[in-house]
Amino acid sequence: MMSHPDDLKAAIACVQLCREIGNSAALRPFTKREVTPGNLKGVELENFIRDSVATYWHQTCTAKMGRDPMSVVDGNLKVYGIENLRIADGSILPRVTTGNTMAPCAIIGERAGEILKADHKL
């Protein structure tokens, strides 16, 4: 993270957008002041961002579902080449989602339940 100059530019743009939204007339009745990062600019804002940046560690796509040679799991969540093993988590996603991974993981879990019920006639 932050290894490329464009990473810092994107982070600064995000802070500026959040400030714009938070300081908008529509939100003014609900806010008192900007708490973090405060009125930082230039190098001070860059340092704040570098010190504050973190990830939520939502790993996905490490055992992707598909039919190509890089795929690990089929459409029934079965691992290719290994009997009686299924994967039902975010690792089967073929691409990183543009939003939080919770919803796709919940759907994968629901689908896994349906598949297992059908396979075991429950």
Note the pLDDT of residue 96: 83
Note the pLDDT of residue 38: 87
Cβ atoms of 63 and 92 within 8 Å: the answer is yes
Entry field: residues in the chain: 122
Note the pLDDT of residue 42: 94
Note the pLDDT of residue 103: 93
Determine the Cα–Cα distance for residues 102 and 109; give it in Å rounded to an integer.
Answer: 11
Could you give the residue numbers annotated as active site?
58
Can you list the alpha helix ranges (DSSP code H) found in 1-122? 5-22, 42-52, 102-119
- Full-model pTM: 0.56
Note the pLDDT of residue 58: 74
Cβ atoms of 91 and 60 within 8 Å: the answer is yes
pLDDT tens series, the chain, 122 aa: 788 899 999 999 999 999 999 999 999 999 888 888 988 999 999 999 999 988 767 788 999 999 999 999 999 999 999 999 999 999 999 998 888 889 999 999 999 999 999 999 99
